[in-house]
């Protein structure tokens, strides 16, 4: 039942409606790429925590203070890293919105269920979304007594069978497609089910539960207010909040009260981008302050990350990923290595830079294990519970020996993968078409020096490991982004 404080949101309703077999730092050894089921752990003094995921959209690696931003201060986002853990080597499972979110929400490589490109946004297609065979974080937390809320961007399917209410969430306020206009007074009176293009979906009225409603104000502020309201209402119960801001994804829109904070930024696109980040940062501050005011700060685990790197080509938003190479859509570091931090006062160390590779896939595994949730043995997770690793003295054990990526051809009928990549320790293998590259990230964070011909043995081994992993994955099953009307084959759970 949705119980958002509608007056606070400026809304009037039109209608209701243990370590996981930890790996030592790799030194030439080849480990299996098979997933390992989450193992139960017992941590004295820990009760089930509330869990908050704050996800931004297309934010550059360098555009948070804790990664060195100077022109766009983010003091509240920085609190998560400064009072918790900064994951400098924090990765997502795909360099574009939809598949990255599918990996985050399921804790499994999205390639395991054929989601290697953004899905079609056709609201009439019951195949165009996160396959119903997969469980979300909300699905596994719900039986453990959690109230689950999602605010903002869903992007896991516009057909009613993919609605958040059907995927374990109790509350939803936001939009189901992949992007949105930020100014509510510009929304059109068109039903999501009747939309004929992604452009129309960008301007639909926001949804409260399953109903589209009238709203007023700036979208980022509405989502932040809704988050504060959700936390306040659920302070005495276990909750999971997935706050999926669409900022700073295009369209580039921010009111003067945010952009005026940046008189020294001359580039007009980056000035708007800075304003959009500032709005998010203010919201994060309000949420953290609310946790403290409600007395639940110490029992709430907060993750912050972006869904992929900042776009440097199509739909550029003024973001900066330096010193990383590439951006959104790339398998270079700038596409998959993102601002990433976690905070849980008293339960994980504060103010540390964690030195090892972690993945957005780990969030599901961490949440599930802390909650004591059951995981389907037929669908084991690819992530691990990070908490034991973060509390290990000297961080000698690594959560992942390897992470993998692949990016298929932009065609529904072409299952080739011209772009693939993997990381093993500080070694990174990338292939773009016939161009193969091997980097040592320890001394070459920007991936400038191709060592393929200098270390042929390592190149051959990593290439073989990436292919072995890819062979175990599934071809594209989800109708892709550039298709609209597709056969309505049932998508069974």
Catalytic annotation, residues? 97, 155
In 3-state terms, what secondary structure has residue 405? strand
Element (H, E) at 464: helix 456-471
CA distance 412 to 391: 45
Tokens encoding 380: 């084991």
* 454 CB-contact burial (10 Å; exposed 0-12 / middle 13-18 / buried 19+): exposed
Element (H, E) at 212: strand 211-212
DSSP string, 44-105: TTPPPPEEEEEEESS--TTSSGGGT-SSS--HHHHHHHHTSEEETTEE-S-SSHHHHHHHHH
Tokens encoding 207: 């949804």
Give 143's contacts (C-beta < 8 A, 6+ positions apart).
Answer: 373, 374
Beta carbons of 380 and 364 less than 8 angstroms apart = no
Other Cβ atoms within 10 Å of 418 Cβ, number: 15
DSSP string, 214-283: EE-SBHHHHHHHHHHHHHHHTTTS-EEEEEE--TTSSS----HHHHTT-TT---HHHHHHHHHHHHHHHH
Closest alpha carbon to 336 in 102, 101, 91, 107: 91
* 320 CB-contact burial (10 Å; exposed 0-12 / middle 13-18 / buried 19+): buried
Beta carbons of 212 and 234 less than 8 angstroms apart = no
Q: What angle do helix axes 268-293 and 219-233 make, rounded to 10 degrees? A: 10
Residues in the chain: 493
Give 102's contacts (C-beta < 8 A, 6+ positions apart).
Answer: 94, 110, 113, 115, 130, 134, 156
Beta carbons of 59 and 248 less than 8 angstroms apart = yes
Element (H, E) at 175: strand 171-175
Backbone φ and ψ for 38, nearest 5 degrees, come out as: -65, 130
Dihedral angle computed from the Cα positions of residues 60, 113, 132 and 128, in that order, rounded to the nearest 10 degrees: 70
């Amino acid at each position: 039942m949705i119980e958002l404080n509608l007056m606070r949101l400026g809304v009037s309703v039109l209608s209701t409606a243990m370590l996981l077999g930890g790996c030592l730092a790799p030194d030439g050894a080849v480990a299996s790429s098979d997933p390992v089921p989450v193992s139960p752990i017992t941590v004295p003094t820990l009760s089930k925590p509330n869990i908050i995921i704050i996800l931004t959209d297309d934010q550059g690696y360098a555009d948070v203070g804790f990664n060195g931003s100077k022109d766009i201060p983010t003091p509240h986002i920085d609190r998560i890293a400064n009072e918790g853990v900064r994951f400098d080597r924090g990765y997502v499972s795909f360099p574009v919105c939809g598949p990255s979110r599918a990996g985050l929400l399921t804790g499994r490589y999205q390639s395991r269920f054929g989601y290697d490109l953004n899905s079609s946004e056709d609201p009439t297609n019951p195949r165009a979304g996160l396959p119903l065979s997969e469980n979300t974080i909300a699905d596994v937390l719900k039986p453990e007594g959690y109230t689950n809320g999602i605010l903002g961007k869903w992007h896991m399917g516009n057909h009613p069978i993919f609605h958040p209410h059907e995927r374990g969430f109790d509350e939803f306020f936001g939009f189901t497609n992949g992007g949105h206009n930020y100014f509510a007074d510009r929304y059109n009176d068109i039903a999501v089910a009747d939309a004929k293009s992604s452009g129309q979906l960008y301007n639909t009225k926001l949804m409260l539960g399953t109903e589209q409603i009238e709203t007023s104000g700036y979208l980022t502020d509405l989502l932040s207010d809704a988050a504060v309201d959700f936390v306040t209402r659920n302070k005495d119960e276990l909750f999971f909040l997935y706050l999926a801001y669409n900022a700073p994804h295009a369209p580039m829109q921010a009111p003067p009260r945010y952009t005026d904070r940046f008189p020294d930024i001359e580039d007009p696109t980056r000035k708007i981008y800075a304003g959009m980040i500032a709005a998010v940062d203010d919201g994060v501050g309000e949420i953290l302050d609310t946790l403290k005011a409600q007395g639940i700060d110490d029992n709430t685990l907060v993750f912050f990350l972006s869904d992929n790197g900042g776009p440097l080509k199509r739909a550029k938003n003024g973001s900066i990923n330096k010193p990383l190479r590439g951006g959104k859509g790339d398998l270079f570091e700038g596409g998959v290595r993102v601002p990433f931090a976690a905070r849980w006062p008293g339960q994980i160390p504060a103010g540390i830079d964690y030195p090892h590779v972690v993945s957005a896939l780990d969030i599901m595994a961490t949440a599930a294990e802390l909650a004591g949730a059951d995981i389907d043995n037929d669908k084991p997770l690819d992530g691990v519970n990070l908490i034991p690793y973060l509390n290990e003295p000297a961080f000698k054990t690594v959560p992942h020996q390897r992470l993998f990526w692949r990016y298929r051809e932009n065609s529904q009928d072409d299952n080739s993968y011209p772009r693939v990549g993997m990381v093993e320790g500080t070694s990174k293998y990338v292939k773009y078409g016939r161009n193969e590259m091997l980097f040592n990230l320890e001394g070459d964070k920007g991936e400038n020096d191709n060592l393929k011909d200098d270390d042929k043995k390592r190149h051959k081994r990593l290439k073989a490991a990436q292919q072995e992993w890819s062979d175990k994955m599934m071809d594209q099953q989800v109708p892709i982004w550039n298709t609209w009307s597709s056969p309505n084959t049932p998508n069974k759970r």
